[in-house]
Amino acid sequence: MAEPMEVDQKTEPLFVDVLSLINESRMTYGLRNEDYQRYREYCANRVRRLRQILKLSQPNSKKTNVQKPLPAVVTDVRYLQLFIYESERAWAYAMELKQESANSMDTRYHYHLIKRLKRAAQYAQQLLDLCQQQNVDARSILDVKAYTNVLRGYLSFEQQNFQEALNHFIIASYIYEQFAETNSNAEQEALCYSAIDEIAPNIRFCAYKMQISDGQDAESIIKKHRSKEVDDLEAELAKIAQNDKKKNARSMLMLTWRDKEFAVKNESLADAVHKAREARSKLDKMSEMTTGLFDEIISEWAKAEKLCKKALKENKQATAKVASSRSAKVTEDLNQLFTFIEYNLYSTTIQRDLCKARTIEKDGRLQEIIRLYDEILKNAEYIWELPQVKDDISLDGELQTMTLYYKACRCVQVALIYDNMKKTAESLALYQKAQNYVVQAKKGLSDVRSFDKDSILKISEKDLTDLEESIRAGTWKARAAWYLEHGNSSSNADDESNIVDKMSGLDISEGTLIDNLDTYPSIIRKDMLIDFPPKFEPVACKPFYFDLAANFVKYPDQALHDRTKSSSSGGFWGLFGRKQK
């Protein structure tokens, strides 16, 4: 027997991803529709092609029946793929026989099935031995070991050796679990969880046959029935995970935002988020904030946003290929991370615009301030449209209060422009609209009670009170300026004065001052004291019932009255009403 050759340590170790290789082959060549015969034929053709490429094929002769040996030092990963496809061909044949045995009572199918599974396990074991002898990556060796234990577990399961099958399945499940937790690739993570989902029913069935009642789920069974080999694997997996962490100290970053915890497994994405948070913490420590500092933070969050969108795209493609029970959790964590990054990006942009607005306000460039408030409201709408934002009641209430506050601020700035243009009615209408926004914002703030500690943008009761005072001051200033300029009693001034009084809440356009003694007018004109000439008013007359009573009144006789009048004498004595004899 030839002595094994020394392996050159300077050469790059071989790497083979068994899960990706077999999943792509299975889904492409028949197993999407459970066509095991087509997949078996593909594996046979692939083995024949690999033997031709690697020059391991023999001439078609009945006398030649011995395969060519492998080289002492394997430097091509296709030698490893050869054993993988040999094992897959035998496994596919076994599954094809299992389908046929389900509709037949013939025991030969089951006997042949066990032979094919035994052949598949043998090829997998040969692959594992070859990987351990050659310069192969440690992660690849563990991947091959998990694949070997899966096939050996299926063989023991069909042979009804449930204790041995359970041990093999536990080893494979533990390896895939550790791979999924330490892997930053979304597709690899989905493949690992999919492999765990395929093994879990077999673990539960073996536990049922062995009358193990420790738990109904596979995870509890794995934790309580770990073998010694699993403990040995734990050290190897810990070493691999430690080597991966040395590449980037911020991999597997755990974040907690608004009482929700999620992990960042992508190394580059975790690094970008870490840098953005560091820049933000530096800004919070500074007493004076400038737009340049905000621009630096926005650029860091923009980089993280780009990487997160890429991760979401990869996760979508991975879940389209392979779905597992934990795919929804991974997607939810990515969506939560995307919302976290976008919230920080848009909130920092709003803070920068507010800082610009405060700087420009000193120069009196009102139109530029209005444009900035338009951008602020637009960014607030973007935050509202993010995933999982509307499901968070507190965050939704905070955004609504914040939007109402900034709308009121924008109305005040527009009102100042109209006031400068001598359009008092429009200015007062905008002040009134701003006041309505403030009232709604106060109600929203009372519903929210207090902003979350993770909120970057916060509106306090003092902010709303200050804004309300500025609205009140602007209203009276606009009215005073108008009356100083239009103090005359012309017809146009009267019409505008009525409009101003209506906008100010002092409507005395109907009636005069004497009819509105409980209202304080903004100006008193000569023609609004009393109505002159007076208005026509109905005059009280005798009651109606007098006319009805006249029918029942007895008046003195008219003839007697005439005689008395004619018998009266004239002269001096007639003045005193003295009668003559």
pTM for the structure as a whole:
0.69
Q: Domain check: are 111 and 216 in the same one?
A: yes
**Residue 123's pLDDT is what?**
95
Lowest mean pLDDT among 268-272, 284-288, 293-297, 475-479: 284-288
HSE, side-chain direction, 13 A CA sphere, residue 200 = 16
Q: Domain check: are 79 and 162 in the same one?
A: yes
CA–CA dist 457, 348 (Å, integer): 9
* Residue ending a domain, choose from 194, 221, 248: 248
**Residue 550's pLDDT is what?**
66
Q: Domain check: are 222 and 76 in the same one?
A: yes
* Residue ending a domain, choose from 352, 371, 391: 391
Q: Domain check: are 185 and 240 in the same one?
A: yes
Domain count, the chain: 2
Give the mean pLDDT of 510-519.
61
Chain segment 452-492, per-residue pLDDT in tens: 888 888 888 999 999 999 999 988 888 877 777 665 444 44
Contact by Cβ (8 Å): 284, 320: no
Coil, strand, or helix at residue 15?
coil
Dihedral-angle region of residue 443 (phi above 0 means left; psi in -120 to 50 means alpha; beta otherwise) = alpha
**Residue 476's pLDDT is what?**
86
Structure tokens, 230: 């699993």
Name every residue whose Cβ is closer than 8 Å to that of residue 1 and which is 6 or more positions away in sequence: none
Do the domain assignments include residue 475? no
Q: Which residue has the tokens 């789920």?
A: 217
Q: Where are the beta strands (DSSP E) in 127-225?
A: none
HSE, side-chain direction, 13 A CA sphere, residue 199 = 30
Contact by Cβ (8 Å): 183, 189: yes
How many residues are present in the chain?
581
Structure tokens, 486: 């239009």
Strand partners, 254: 263
Q: Domain check: are 47 and 183 in the same one?
A: yes
Q: Domain check: are 83 and 221 in the same one?
A: yes
Of the pLDDT bands very low, low, confident and very high (cuts 50, 70, 90), residue 391 is: confident
First to last CA, the chain: 189
Contact by Cβ (8 Å): 127, 144: yes
Of the pLDDT bands very low, low, confident and very high (cuts 50, 70, 90), residue 498 is: low
Q: Domain check: are 197 and 103 in the same one?
A: yes
CA–CA dist 427, 305 (Å, integer): 41
Contact by Cβ (8 Å): 419, 428: no
Chain segment 311-354, per-residue pLDDT in tens: 888 888 878 777 777 777 888 888 899 999 999 999 999 999 99
Buried b (16+ CB within 10 A) or exposed e, 139-169: bbbbbbbbbbbbbbbbbbbbeeebeebbbbb
Do the domain assignments include residue 111? yes
Coil, strand, or helix at residue 541?
coil
Q: What is the Cα Rg of the chain in Å?
A: 47
CA–CA dist 200, 219 (Å, integer): 8
Do the domain assignments include residue 498? no
Of the pLDDT bands very low, low, confident and very high (cuts 50, 70, 90), residue 496 is: low
Do the domain assignments include residue 39? yes
Do the domain assignments include residue 398? no
**Residue 497's pLDDT is what?**
54
* Residue ending a domain, choose from 391, 408, 427: 391
Name every residue whose Cβ is closer than 8 Å to that of residue 153 and which is 6 or more positions away in sequence: 165, 166, 168, 169, 172, 199, 202
Do the domain assignments include residue 551? no
Spell out the alpha helix ranges (H) of 286-326.
291-321
Do the domain assignments include residue 402? no
* CATH number of the domain residue 281 falls in: 1.20.58
Lowest mean pLDDT among 264-273, 288-297, 491-500: 491-500
* CATH number of the domain residue 223 falls in: 1.10.3450.40
Contact by Cβ (8 Å): 447, 389: no
Q: Domain check: are 172 and 302 in the same one?
A: no
Q: Domain check: are 169 and 311 in the same one?
A: no
Q: Domain check: are 49 and 158 in the same one?
A: yes
Of the pLDDT bands very low, low, confident and very high (cuts 50, 70, 90), residue 88 is: very high
CA–CA dist 411, 432 (Å, integer): 9
Which residues constitute the domain of residue 318? 249-391
Lowest mean pLDDT among 67-81, 346-360, 365-379, 540-554: 540-554
Of the pLDDT bands very low, low, confident and very high (cuts 50, 70, 90), residue 3 is: very low
Q: Is the pLDDT of residue 428 over 80?
A: yes
Do the domain assignments include residue 466? no
The Cβ of residue 442 has, within 10 Å, a number of other Cβ atoms equal to 18
Q: Domain check: are 108 and 142 in the same one?
A: yes
Chain segment 166-192, per-residue pLDDT in tens: 999 999 998 998 888 777 677 788 888
Q: Domain check: are 271 and 243 in the same one?
A: no
Phi, psi of 219 (to 5 degrees): -65, -45
Q: How far is CA 576 from CA 309, 569, 579, in A?
A: 124, 10, 9
